[in-house]
């Protein structure tokens, strides 16, 4: 059993301190968990950049945040995680407006695409967007996170438990693709990457650190925009029975991004009802998530696939 850190009630966003003068970047911050996390951070005075591929949606999110959490400051950068060129362009936009990032939050994702699709760069789309796009973004902005002694935050999922490991001879699932297999592998990659990044940061003597979290089962548009019609209907019905609001699903992200009590290298999320919901604390992970040999190979493969290099490691 995973050892609890925060007692029976878990960690609450009310425990956040003043974040005035702090800078946060969150991918997919225009809706769902990302938008709620941005609101919570802004409510404490933070400056939050929404990284989003759609300018109209980014503008709408910034407008909504200004109304709901006027203590914060908000802007946006355009990037599409399905295109490494777009990710690098977006990183350049962010770099032009600040010299430090206190929290770089890898939140955006897609879920259970019915048929195998490829990104602009030829990657299986869920692996490409959920993992490789964020890997490139973090590498591109790592020096700004380091300058703030900041945090890299990767939003994983309880779905990682359905991935037994990586098939390194077929990471793009050319053989035997299924929507659930691809999604589970991508979320396992998020968690494995976050843990490996923290090990590398510690080994290099860096001042920045890495954290991972999961939102439990939270009601967002993720369940309806990615899956096919039948799977989407099933997930919509399951949402009504099991899901918690997006605002509760965002609490682990906020803890990892800005909570004083979060421990580097930790994995946090809801801890009741099969980790679907409940108090936020240290979360359970599978043996595959703790496989350091696989983590090193995933890192090496990610570098080879993307050409991304880390200036701080």
Integer Cα distance of 23 and 73 in angstroms: 9
Dihedrals phi, psi of 114, to nearest 5 degrees: -60, -45
Give the integer Cα–Cα distance in Å for 178 and 249.
Answer: 26
Residue 103 tokens read as: 């929290």
CB 150 within 8 A of CB 102: yes
183 tagged catalytic: yes
Bridge partners, residue 212, by sequence? 154, 267
Q: Which is it for the CA torsion 306, 52, 40, 188, positive or negative?
A: negative
Cα 258 vs. chain centroid, distance in angstroms? 14
Of residues 24, 74, 183, 268, which has the active-site annotation? 183
Beta strands in the chain (DSSP E): 23-27, 47-52, 73-78, 103-106, 151-155, 209-213, 267-272, 277-282
DSSP 122-141: S-BHHHIIIIIHHHHHHHHH
* Residues noted as catalytic: 183
């Amino acid at each position: 059993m995973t050892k609890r850190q925060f007692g029976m009630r878990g960690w609450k966003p009310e425990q956040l301190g003043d974040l005035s003068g702090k800078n946060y970047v969150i991918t997919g911050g225009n809706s769902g968990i990302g938008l709620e996390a941005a609101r919570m951070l802004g409510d404490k005075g933070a400056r939050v950049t929404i990284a989003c591929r759609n300018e109209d949606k980014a503008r709408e999110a910034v407008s909504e945040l200004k109304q709901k959490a006027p203590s914060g400051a908000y802007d946006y950068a355009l990037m599409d995680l399905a295109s490494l060129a777009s990710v690098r362009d977006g990183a350049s936009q962010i770099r032009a407006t600040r010299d430090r990032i206190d929290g770089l939050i890898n939140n955006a994702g897609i879920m259970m695409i019915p048929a195998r699709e490829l990104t602009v760069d030829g990657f299986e789309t869920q692996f490409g967007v959920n993992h490789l796009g964020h890997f490139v973004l973090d590498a591109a902005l790592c020096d700004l996170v380091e300058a703030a002694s900041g945090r890299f935050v990767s939003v994983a999922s309880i779905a990682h438990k359905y991935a037994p490991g990586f098939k390194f001879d077929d990471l793009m699932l050319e053989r035997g693709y299924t929507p659930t297999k691809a999604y589970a592998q991508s979320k396992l990659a998020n968690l494995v990457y976050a843990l490996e990044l923290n090990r590398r940061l510690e080994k290099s003597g860096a001042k920045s650190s890495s954290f991972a979290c999961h939102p439990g089962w939270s009601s967002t548009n993720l369940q309806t925009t990615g899956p096919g019609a039948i799977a989407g209907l099933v997930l919509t019905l399951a949402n009504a029975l099991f899901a918690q609001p997006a605002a509760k699903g965002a609490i682990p992200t906020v803890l990892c991004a800005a909570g004083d009590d979060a421990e580097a290298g930790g994995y946090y999320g809801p801890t009741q009802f099969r980790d679907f919901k409940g108090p936020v604390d240290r979360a359970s992970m599978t043996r595959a998530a703790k496989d350091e040999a696989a983590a090193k190979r995933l890192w090496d493969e990610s570098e080879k696939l993307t050409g991304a290099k880390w200036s701080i490691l």
